[in-house]
Amino acid sequence: MTSLQLSAKEEMVEKLLDAAARGDLTQVSSLLSHVPSLINQTGYSGWTALMLAARNGHYHVVEALLSLGCDKFSVNSSSQTAYDIAKFWGHRHISDLLCRTDDVCQRVLPDSDLDRQENYFSRETLDRLSGKRTDQVWLEAKHKDPSTVYLLFSSLSPMVSSSQEDDKAEGEIKLCRFRYETVKDLLQKPATMLIFLGVEKRTKPSSSSSSSQTEGGASEPPAWFAFSTDEDAAELLKRCREKNCSFPKSANRDLLKFSEEEAGVVAQARSVLAWHSRYSFCPTCGSGTKLEEGGYKRSCLNSDCRSLQGVHNTCYPRVDPVVIMLVIHPDGNQCLLGRKKIFPAGLFSCLAGFIEPGESLEDAVRREVEEESGVKVGPVQYVSCQPWPMPSNLMIGCLAVAISTDIKVDENEIEEARWFPRQQVIESLLRGARPAFTVPPRQTVAHQLIKHWISMKSNL
């Protein structure tokens, strides 16, 4: 009796799979209405009805299966999801449908949450309120508001406090926050550079003690400003009431010690202040410039300068786009990593380079990889990006598939490049007893790209 029941069930599974492959929506719906448990059953090589419908371009069948709760993240024996299959066979309308969810399409294992998490420096804890940057009356009112927060920078380093007694310890650091009365003398000095960062995002109603009141009685969240001054750093530190205050000296290392929330604020403030430090003079005519729009614009003081005619990118803070890519070996089980002479011993990272004018993201990846390592790249896939405020880069993280494997390093660019097997990379990520090499810290997009590749269910 049991064997007969199994045989009948297998026959129904075959009927469902066949109907899905043929695009017979009527039969698919009928079978599932009688036996709903068939929806995720698999046939040859682990293919489901959703995969077969996606393979053959049957949009309405895919749509119906999804509405009935079909598991779109299941994989066949080749580790392909229905999304992978639809994309491979060029059924873009179906791959778009399979991606249409609140959490975005995830093609990674459950323990890999790169698509759900923000990269370090990316978290937006402030509402930038860009529309208020031209409202000088509002900005001036916020300057003197007792709830307003000021961040103090010296030589592009923010004043921070640490709970660690020893400066060399690897503990978390925090931004020192000042109120207007404490720093108003510095704000009034001509050399001070002041920028508006935004206001705190509301998560719950604020009390009047921490928020200012509008004319109508409604409270406004505190505003945040950052400013830089050329005053003596040692004298500035005396203004801080926190313990172990300092100005970090090594940006690449020390700026990775903030909490996720404060890191995003630092990225915004430092990038804009760095731009101001380089654009005191007009790059068009050489005249002096003045700060406008809450620190997000500089205008030439020469009324005849052509930069005042139309829109010019010299007037606004610049962001330099950089591609950073993990190159995957054609066998899918090795990745290409390189190291520069300035890296700590044993550290290997993803290759990276600036995007050139008139160059696409994909072409920049292919050019940089070939220039630095001699390896040629085919398909390129964007993964995620990360602001990198040193001084103002946007790291655009990609995966790329190699179409050649011979390495010929450009020693002017990098010191060494190697193919690393997947297992060796896993051991390095897990920081085993004696890893063959080390990867960049978790705060970098390079680390997240490596982690993403390790946890992928399927190759590109």
Residue extent(s) of CATH 1.25.40.20 domains in the chain: 2-99
Tokens of 138: 């509002």
- How large a percentage of the chain has pLDDT more than 70? 88
Question: What ranges make up the beta strands (E) of 262-389?
Answer: 289-292, 297-300, 320-328, 334-339, 351-354, 377-388
Tokens of 354: 């600036």
Res. 165 pLDDT band, cuts 50 70 90: low
Residue extent(s) of CATH 3.90.79.10 domains in the chain: 320-455
Side chain identity at residue 195, one-letter code: I
Q: Find, among 193, 208, 194, the residue nearest to 149 by Cα.
A: 194
Tokens of 345: 């011993």
Residue range 427-444: mean pLDDT, rounded:
85
Quick one: pLDDT at residue 218? 52
Between CA 280 and CA 297 the distance in angstroms is 11
Q: Find, among 182, 156, 450, 128, the residue nearest to 278 by Cα.
A: 156
Summarize pLDDT for 277-296 with one digit per residue, the tens.
Answer: 988 899 899 999 999 999 99
Res. 405 pLDDT band, cuts 50 70 90: very high
Quick one: pLDDT at residue 232? 95
Residue range 158-181: mean pLDDT, rounded:
81
Q: Find, among 419, 420, 445, the residue nearest to 435 by Cα.
A: 420
Q: How many angstroms separate the most distant Cα atoms in the chain?
A: 95
Summarize pLDDT for 10-20 with one digit per residue, the tens.
Answer: 889 999 999 99
CA 13, 17, 22, 24 dihedral sign is positive
Quick one: pLDDT at residue 298? 92
Collapsed DSSP state (helix, strand, coil) of residue 13:
helix
Burial of 414 (0-12, 13-18, 19+ CB in 10 A): buried
| Ordered DSSP codes for 220-255 | EPPEEEEEE--S-HHHHHTT--SSSEE--S-HHHHT
Q: Which helix (H) or strand (E) holds 181?
A: helix 180-187
Q: Does domain 126-278 have CATH number 3.90.79?
A: yes
Sheet with 173-175: list strands edge to edge: 173-175, 160-162, 245-246
**Which residue in this structure is represented by tokens 């069930």?**
9
Summarize pLDDT for 350-370 with one digit per residue, the tens.
Answer: 999 999 999 999 999 999 999
Q: Are 415 and 340 in contact (CB under 8 A)?
A: yes
Quick one: pLDDT at residue 100? 62
Summarize pLDDT for 21-63 with one digit per residue, the tens.
Answer: 999 999 999 999 999 999 999 998 899 999 999 999 999 999 9
> Looking at the predicted structure, is the pLDDT value of residue 167 above 60?
no
Quick one: pLDDT at residue 458? 40
Collapsed DSSP state (helix, strand, coil) of residue 103:
coil
> Looking at the predicted structure, is the pLDDT value of residue 2 above 70?
no
CATH of domain 2-99: 1.25.40.20
- Domain 320-455 fold: Nucleoside Triphosphate Pyrophosphohydrolase (3.90.79)
Q: Are 438 and 362 in contact (CB under 8 A)?
A: no
